[in-house]
Amino acid sequence: MSTSNFIFGLFFLSTVAIAGEPDVARQKELVHLVRQDCGSCHGMTLKGGLGPALLPENLRDKPAEGLAATIYYGRPGTPMPPWKAFLSEAEAAWIVDKLMTEFPE
Amino acid sequence: MRLLLIACFALFLNACAGPQLRGTGDLGLIIERASGHVTLVNTTARQPYARIGGLGDLSHASAVYSRDGRYAFIFGRDGGLTKIDLLEAKIVKRIIQSGNAIGGSISQDGRIVVAQNYKPGGIKAFDSETLELLAEVPAEFAPGQFSKVVGLADTAGNKFAYALFDGGEIRVTDFSNPRQPTTQKFPAGQQPYDGLVTPDGRYFLAGLFGEDGVAMLDLWQPEKGARKILENYGRGQEKLPVFKMPHLRGWSVAQGKAYLPAIGRHEVLVVDVATWKEVGRIPVRGQPVFVMARPDGRQIWVNFAFPDNGKVDVIDTLAGKVTHRMEPGKAILHMEFAPRGEHVWLSARDDNKVLIYNTENFAKLGEIPAESPSGIFFTSRAVRTGF
- The domain that holds A60 is classified in CATH as 1.10.760.10
- A49 and B243 within 8 Å at the Cβ level: the answer is no
CB of B247 within 8 Å of a chain A CB? The answer is no
pLDDT of B279 over the 70 cut: yes
pLDDT of B9 over the 80 cut: no
Identify the pLDDT of residue B238. Answer: 85
Q: Is the ipTM of this complex over 0.95?
A: no
In-domain check, residue A71: yes
Picking from A45, A50, A81, the nearest residue to B243 by CB comes out as A81
Q: What is the identity of the amino acid at B132?
A: E
**Whole-angstrom Cα distance, residue B316 to residue B337?**
16
CB of B242 within 8 Å of a chain A CB? The answer is yes
Identify the pLDDT of residue B237. Answer: 81
Picking from A44, A79, A81, the nearest residue to B59 by CB comes out as A44
Identify the pLDDT of residue A17. Answer: 41
Identify the pLDDT of residue A10. Answer: 45
Alpha carbon of B288: minimum distance to chain A alpha carbons (Å): 14
- Tally of structural domains, chain A: 1
- Please check whether residue B76 is in contact with residue B61, taking contact to mean a CB–CB distance below 8 angstroms: yes
- Residue numbers in chain A where pLDDT is lower than 50: 1-18
Picking from B59, B241, B331, the nearest residue to A43 by CB comes out as B59
In-domain check, residue A14: no
Show the CA angle centred on residue A83, arms to residues A79 and A87, nearest 5°: 165
Instruction: Please list the residues that pair with B316 across neighbouring strands.
Output: B299, B321
The residue range of the domain holding A52 is 23-100
Helix (H, G, I), strand (E, B) or coil at B114: strand
Q: What is the pLDDT of residues B124-155, one digit of tens each?
A: 999 999 999 999 999 999 999 999 999 999 99
Identify the pLDDT of residue B250. Answer: 82
- A74 and B242 within 8 Å at the Cβ level: the answer is no
Instruction: Please list the residues that pair with B355 across neighbouring strands.
Output: B346, B367
**CB count in 10 Å sphere of residue B369:** 12
In-domain check, residue A5: no
More confident residue, B99 or B298: B298
Give A-chain residues touching B372 at CB under 8 angstroms. 36
- Please check whether residue B192 is in contact with residue B150, taking contact to mean a CB–CB distance below 8 angstroms: yes
Alpha carbon of A43: minimum distance to chain B alpha carbons (Å): 7
**Whole-angstrom Cα distance, residue B119 to residue B241?**
26
**Whole-angstrom Cα distance, residue A77 to residue A54?**
19
pLDDT of B10 over the 80 cut: no
pLDDT band per the 50, 70, 90 thresholds, residue B165: very high
In-domain check, residue A56: yes
Picking from A44, A49, A81, the nearest residue to B33 by CB comes out as A44
DSSP string, A83-103: -TTTS-HHHHHHHHHHHHS--
Q: What is the DSSP letter of B238?
A: P
- Please check whether residue B61 is in contact with residue B33, taking contact to mean a CB–CB distance below 8 angstroms: yes
Helix (H, G, I), strand (E, B) or coil at B117: strand
Identify the pLDDT of residue B19. Answer: 67
- Please check whether residue B246 is in contact with residue B291, taking contact to mean a CB–CB distance below 8 angstroms: yes
**Whole-angstrom Cα distance, residue B109 to residue B292?**
25
How many C-alpha atoms does B92 have within 13 Å on its Cβ side?
15
- A44 and B77 within 8 Å at the Cβ level: the answer is yes
Pairing of strands B214-218, B227-229: antiparallel
- Please check whether residue B116 is in contact with residue B150, taking contact to mean a CB–CB distance below 8 angstroms: yes
Taking residues B85-93, report their average pLDDT.
Answer: 98
Identify the pLDDT of residue B127. Answer: 98
- A47 and B78 within 8 Å at the Cβ level: the answer is yes
- Please check whether residue B207 is in contact with residue B260, taking contact to mean a CB–CB distance below 8 angstroms: yes
Among B17-26, B96-105, B150-159, B291-300, the minimum mean pLDDT is found in B17-26
Identify the pLDDT of residue B141. Answer: 97
Taking residues B27-52, report their average pLDDT.
Answer: 97
**Whole-angstrom Cα distance, residue B211 to residue B232?**
8
In-domain check, residue A50: yes
Taking CA–CA distances from A43, the nearest residue in chain B reads B59
CB of B148 within 8 Å of a chain A CB? The answer is yes
End-to-end CA distance of chain A: 30
In-domain check, residue A17: no
pLDDT band per the 50, 70, 90 thresholds, residue B17: low
Identify the pLDDT of residue B276. Answer: 95
pLDDT band per the 50, 70, 90 thresholds, residue B29: very high
Identify the pLDDT of residue A7. Answer: 47
CB of B243 within 8 Å of a chain A CB? The answer is yes
From residue B343, how far is each of A104, B223, B335, B336, B340 by CA, in Å? 38, 41, 10, 9, 8
Identify the pLDDT of residue B3. Answer: 52
Taking residues B186-208, report their average pLDDT.
Answer: 96
- B242 and A86 within 8 Å at the Cβ level: the answer is no
Residue-averaged pLDDT of chain B: 94
**Whole-angstrom Cα distance, residue B196 to residue B205?**
5
